[in-house]
């Protein structure tokens, strides 16, 4: 507990700054879409392991999402360290999936109900414990990159009807930096995808 207290002081400071604590707000893009106080959110997350909060599970899930996003951001590094040069979408997500399955056990045998009249939609990776689905896209030229961004529009419509999943990731693995991150983010913004869809632009080889 002494070590835990030292961590508390390191994160929140020895002196309590009420003005700063009450003025910091952000938008909860993961669930509610509503503004929340960042100090209280950090405090709840810090206290969650002590099991003194009724909504501790929500903040443990938020911690899990942070781990997930770090893994997705490091897709290129993971593939590079494995010595692979993926030539397809399947080769990309298979290289990362075993990492995710090690961190999130529920990703090993997931189920979903994304059924539509004409077809069943199957995300590349599902993580039930985080209510998250991940779709990987592979592009080896600029034209293909434009095409796979357009494909996400169909995925957005298809990945509905299953209340167990409410956060979706689109990871674009490109073999060269065709656009740069700024142009990619602009193209994504112009599509007006739902806020619960989060993109990643990953430059590999």
Structure tokens given for 195: 């806020």
pTM of the model: 0.71
For residues 44-56, average pLDDT: 67
The larger pLDDT score, comparing residue 52 to residue 61, is at 61
pLDDT value, residue 60: 55
Cα distance between residue 137 and residue 41, in whole Å: 33
CA distances from 204 to 80, 138, 139, 172 (A): 8, 10, 10, 10
Spatial separation of the C-alpha atoms in residues 41 and 38, rounded to whole Å: 5
Q: Which of 57-61, 81-85, 117-121, 162-166 has the highest mean pLDDT?
A: 81-85
Three-state helix/strand/coil letters over the chain: CHHHHHHHHHHHCCCCCHHHHHHCEEECCCCCCCEEEHHHHHHHHHHHHHCCCCCHHHHHHHHHHHHHHHHHHCHHHHHHHCCCCCCCHHHHHHHHHHHHHHHCHHHCCCCCCCECCCCECCCCEEEHHHCEEEEEEEECCHHHHHHHHHHHHHHHHHCCCCCCCCEEEEEEEECCCCCCHHHHHHHHHHCCCCCCEEEEEEECC
Q: Choose among 13, 123, 128: nearest CA to 61.
A: 128
Mean pLDDT of 74-97: 94
Q: Is residue 86's pLDDT more than 90?
A: yes
pLDDT digits (tens, 9 = 90+) for 125-176: 999 989 999 999 999 999 999 999 999 988 998 898 888 898 999 999 999 9
11: tokens are: 């994160």
Q: Which residue from 64, 171, 163 is spatially nearest to 113, judged by alpha carbons?
A: 163
């Amino acid at each position: 507990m002494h070590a835990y207290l030292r961590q508390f002081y390191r994160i929140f400071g020895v002196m309590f700054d009420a003005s700063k604590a009450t003025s910091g707000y952000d938008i909860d893009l993961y669930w509610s879409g509503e503004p929340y106080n960042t100090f209280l959110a950090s405090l709840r997350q810090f206290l969650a392991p002590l099991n003194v909060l009724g909504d501790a599970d929500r903040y443990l899930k938020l911690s899990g999402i942070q781990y997930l996003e770090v893994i997705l951001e490091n897709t290129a590094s993971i593939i590079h360290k494995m010595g692979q040069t993926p030539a397809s979408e399947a080769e990309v997500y298979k290289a990362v999936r075993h990492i995710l399955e090690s961190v999130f056990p529920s990703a090993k045998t997931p189920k979903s109900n994304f059924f539509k009249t004409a077809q069943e939609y199957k995300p590349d990776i599902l993580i039930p414990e985080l209510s998250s689905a991940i779709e990987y896209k592979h592009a080896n030229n600029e034209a293909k990159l434009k095409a796979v961004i357009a494909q996400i529009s169909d995925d957005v419509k298809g990945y509905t009807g299953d209340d167990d999943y409410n956060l979706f990731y689109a990871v674009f693995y490109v073999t060269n930096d065709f656009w740069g991150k700024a142009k990619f983010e602009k193209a994504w913004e112009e599509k007006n995808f739902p806020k619960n869809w989060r993109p990643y632009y990953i430059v590999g080889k």
